[in-house]
A = this chain, B = another copy of it.
Amino acid sequence: MRTQGPAIAMPSLQVSTGNATASLATSRVAPAAPAQRLAPLADRARHVSFARGAAIFRDGDAADRIYEVRNGVVRLSKTLADGRRQVLDFVEPDRIIGLHDGKVHGATAEAVTPAVLVSYPRSSVETAMAGDAATACRLMTELRAAAMRSEVRLVLVGRKTADERVATFLLMRAHRDAADGEEVSLPMGRADIADYLAVTIETVSRALSKFKAGGLIAMPGPQSIVLRDIERLRDVAGL
């Protein structure tokens, strides 16, 4: 079941300009945002697919379109001149990217897994803001959620230790009401996790090994983690 948007009912009209109708395992994370489609903008929508690693847009590109993730995982990041990179977010289906930006994108968006997105011309945002209250509300909610996530991550990156960060990351990837034994998938590589948490690959690896040694988690494979002791994991995460 999907949480409906706040207070305002959406027409049940579905976008029909494509066939990629999300049905994947990774959609488990962060379903806080409403799952409505941007139906009223359907006529100007365009479906696009990206291979693993492909760029959807880059920092500095003209921001003439916004994108709704339908399938796969997208990575938002910023890179400094000397190559230091900060991953801002991993975006999963039903979320929108490119909304913050004005004329120019302020971050790079790349597909972490093969991904399908729907893009809308940026102008349609303004149109919606003026005339379509429901969509305006949806966009507003999206922005608010993004802002809140950024703030949480600022605390994570600014004030938590490496172990706390990794533990927090695992819990973020788990269900809200995760129970012991739950399996968490990590579709992104260690480098992505490291740049998300603002530590090095080695530190991530060491933390995971430590958790494994302590019996907090099990690792069937590098991309898959089983939460063995969520209680203690929460403890380590400082939550």
Contact at A147–B143, with CB atoms within 8 Å?
A: yes
Within 8 A of B (CB), among A126-147: 126, 129-130, 133, 136-137, 139-140, 143-144, 146-147
Kindly state the separation between the CA atoms of A159 and B148 in the bound complex, as whole angstroms: 20
Instruction: Report whether A106 and B148 are in contact in the complex, using a CB–CB cutoff of 8 Å.
Output: yes
Asked if B144 and A100 make an inter-chain contact with CB atoms under 8 angstroms apart, the answer reads yes
**A86-B158, A158-B198 known; A238 vs B80 contact (CB < 8 Å):** yes
Cβ contacts under 8 Å, A58 to chain B: none
Query: Is A88 close to B, CB under 8 A?
Result: yes
> How many of A's residues come within 8 Å of B, CB to CB?
41
Interchain CB contact under 8 A, B139 and A140: yes
Q: Contacts A101-B148, A238-B80; is A133 near B143 (CB within 8 Å)? A: no
Report copies per complex. Answer: 2
Q: Do A81 and B148 form a contact, CB below 8 Å, given A129-B137, A154-B88, A159-B198?
A: no
Cβ contacts under 8 Å, A84 to chain B:
159-160
Please, which residues of chain B bring their CB within 8 A of the CB of A107? 151
A88's partner among B99, B126, B136, B151 (CB-CB below 8 A) is B151
Could you list which residues of chain A lie within 8 angstroms of chain B, going by C-beta atoms? 7-8, 78, 80-82, 84-86, 88, 99-102, 106-107, 126, 129-130, 133, 136-137, 139-140, 143-144, 146-148, 150-155, 157-160, 198, 238
- Selected A-B contacts with CB under 8 Å, 26 pairs: A78-B151, A78-B154, A78-B155, A80-B155, A80-B159, A80-B160, A82-B238, A84-B159, A84-B160, A85-B159, A88-B154, A100-B147, A106-B148, A129-B136, A129-B137, A140-B140, A140-B143, A143-B144, A146-B147, A147-B150, A150-B150, A150-B151, A150-B154, A154-B157, A157-B157, A157-B198
